[in-house]
Amino acid sequence: MNKLWTLLLAAALPAIAVAAPARAQDLPGDSVYHVQAATTDMDGRPVPWSSLRGQPRVVSMFYTNCHLMCPLIIENAKAVQKRLTPRERARLQVTMVSLDPARDTPEAMRETAHLHRVPDGWRFLTPVADDVRAIASVLDVRYRMREDGSINHTSVLVLLDAEGRVRARSEVEGAAPDASFLTQVKALLAEP
Amino acid sequence: MKRMLPLLLTCALVPANAGTAGYVDLPGGEFRSAVRYEEEGDRLRVVPFALMERPVSNAEFAAFLRQHPQWRRDRLPAVFSSPGYLGHWESAEAPGPGVDADAPVVRVNWYAADAYCRAQEARLPSFLEWEYAAAADARRTDARDDARWRTRQLDDGTPRAMDAAPDAPANAYGVRGLHGAVWEWSDDAASLPGAGDRRGADDGDRLKYCGATALAFNDREHYGVQKRFALLTALQPGDTLGNLGFRCARSSP
């Protein structure tokens, strides 16, 4: 009988997991955190996409093997951060999400973070392979894997409020931050 | 406690992939695509993959909604907003007697199709994978040199389509309905060359201008491919159509 209960409990667990998004009920309808996707951070820890809820953040998608646009995306996000007051900086997270799960292992992501001397607190996340498109779609990042292993992709910083609503976008064309994007970042951080 | 038992048992007995259609293995290989992907040549490599034999049906999608009720039309969050999403179903959870349970589900947006496939530990096929599988007729794995067969593809997406009848023969790979009455989502629909808004992409400006879609073909004789390509590139992931469904694919291990 004990064994049977263990079995039944194991069967019930998925049901409990399904019930858990009760919290998701109060997520605003237009939140990108409605996407269910699994990611891993650069320490190899699992990070559900929806767990990013709770703090304003700048998100971008990139891949570590990219040597032209991706370093510019990182430099651009660093430049945005540099223009903030220490108080603002403490409130805003920066998250880089990989478009290339096959190659962007936690080690590769750590190496890129180190190489670009990104400030402490940035998160580098690699989604499960089949979950990349869903995150990209909701952020309106378009990409295509090319035969030579490079990826054509939208280079954009997306500003999300704590609830995951898209507040602003900045198409990255160079290392210098886009002034109107910066204004929107500061405006969001000034909100209570 | 007694009352809970039957519920728990129900959970225990439903396998994760209940009601999903079978998959067919496709060998892949070098493939001459009718689509020109920017500066790539016209010969592309298709990695071996598996594709559902048939598109996902109304009954299968209803089973998915029972396990993932967040995709019901009355619960869909605005971020996946979708005018007309499953609007032809009788209720939020079931197609009802007026809709053929075995017919391909339509009026589903890209997000729901993607979520369905991921729940089966699968994904949507890429446009290239679709084109490769759909190059076959009942006898040949690549029937595209047959002008008559190509011409019949002008009916794709309509009830006159050659694979529209449920008993239409499988193609040489064993896949059914690829030239059917419904179009199907691809994984990369929003990212195809010439698709929508290309601002910020680091692939040059060439394809973002009006009429650019016409430039995106290696071979303009492939009407079926062109029609489908033009349709998918015009859609946003939240869009739905009365003749647009989907099927899933899996990368071969």
**Domain architecture of chain A: domains with CATH:** 29-182 (3.40.30.10)
Mutate to test the interface with A, among B14, B31, B71, B79 (most CBs of A within 10 A): B79
Given an 8 Å threshold on Cβ–Cβ distance, is B111 in contact with A137? yes
Q: Cβ–Cβ of B79/A11 closer than 8 Å?
A: no
Q: Is residue B201 classed as helix, strand or coil in its secondary structure?
A: strand
Identify the helix (H) or strand (E) that includes residue B52.
strand B49-52
Residue type, B244: L
What distance lies between CA A57 and its chain's CA centroid?
8
A21: exposed, middle or buried (Cβ count in 10 Å: 0-12, 13-18, 19+) = middle
Q: What are the angstrom distances between the C-alpha of B102 and each of B20, B58, B88?
A: 12, 6, 15
* Residues facing A60 on adjacent strands: A96
Q: What is the pLDDT of residue B195?
A: 54
| Residue A54: other Cβ atoms inside 10 A | 11
Q: Report the 3 state secondary structure along chain A.
A: CHHHHHHHHHHHHHHHHHHHHHHHHHCCCCCHHHCCCEEECCCCCEEEHHHHCCCCEEEEEECCCCCCHHHHHHHHHHHHHHCCCHHHHHHCEEEEEECCCCCCCHHHHHHHHHHCCCCCCCEEEEECHHHHHHHHHHCCCCEEECCCCCEEEECEEEEECCCCCEEEEEECCCCCCCHHHHHHHHHHHHCC
Give A142's contacts in chain B (Cβ within 8 Å): 190-191, 195-196, 198, 201
Q: Does B216 touch chain A (CB under 8 A)?
A: no
The DSSP secondary-structure symbol of B154 reads: G
Which DSSP helix (H) or strand (E) runs through B8? helix B4-13
Tell me if residue B66 falls in helix, strand or coil.
Answer: helix
Please return the burial class of B11, using the count of CB atoms within 10 Å of its CB with bins 0-12, 13-18 and 19+: middle
User: Which residues, at least 6 apart from B122, have a Cβ–Cβ distance to it below 8 Å?
Assistant: A130, B23, B52, B248, B249, B250
**CA-based angle A181:A186:A190, to the nearest 5?**
145
Q: Cα A190 to chain center, whole Å?
A: 22
DSSP state of B78: G
Of the listed ranges A159-163, B29-33, B41-45, the one predicted with least confidence: B41-45
Of A67-71, B13-17, B85-89, B226-230, the poorest mean pLDDT is in B13-17
| Residue B82 pLDDT | 82
> Can you say how many angstroms the Cα of residue B159 is from the centroid of all Cα atoms in its chain?
17
Position B194 scores a pLDDT of 67
Residue B6, H or E segment:
helix B4-13
Are A138 and B79 a contacting pair at CB < 8 A? yes
Which residues of chain B have a CB within 8 Å of the CB of A153?
201-202
pLDDT per residue, tens digit, chain A (192 aa), is 444 444 444 444 444 444 444 455 589 999 999 999 999 999 999 999 999 999 999 999 999 998 888 899 999 999 999 999 999 999 999 999 999 999 999 999 999 999 999 999 999 999 999 999 999 999 999 999 888 888 989 999 999 999 999 999 999 998 899 999 999 999 999 998
In tens, the pLDDT along B171-196 reads: 999 999 999 999 999 999 998 876 54
**Could you report the predicted ipTM of this complex, rounded to two decimals?**
0.84
Report pLDDT for B199: 40
pTM: 0.85
Is B26 in a helix, a strand, or coil? strand
For residue A21, which residues of chain B lie inside 8 Å, CB to CB?
70
Question: Is the CB of residue B111 less than 8 Å away from at least one CB of chain A?
Answer: yes
Nearest neighbour of A154 by CB, restricted to B40, B200, B251: B200
Question: Which site among A154, A156, A160, A161 would you substitute to test the B interface, given the most B Cβ atoms closer than 10 Å to its Cβ?
Answer: A154
- In this predicted structure, which of A119-123, B167-171, B203-207 has the lowest mean pLDDT? B203-207
* Residue B245: how many other CB atoms lie within 10 Å: 25
- What's the pLDDT at B220? 63
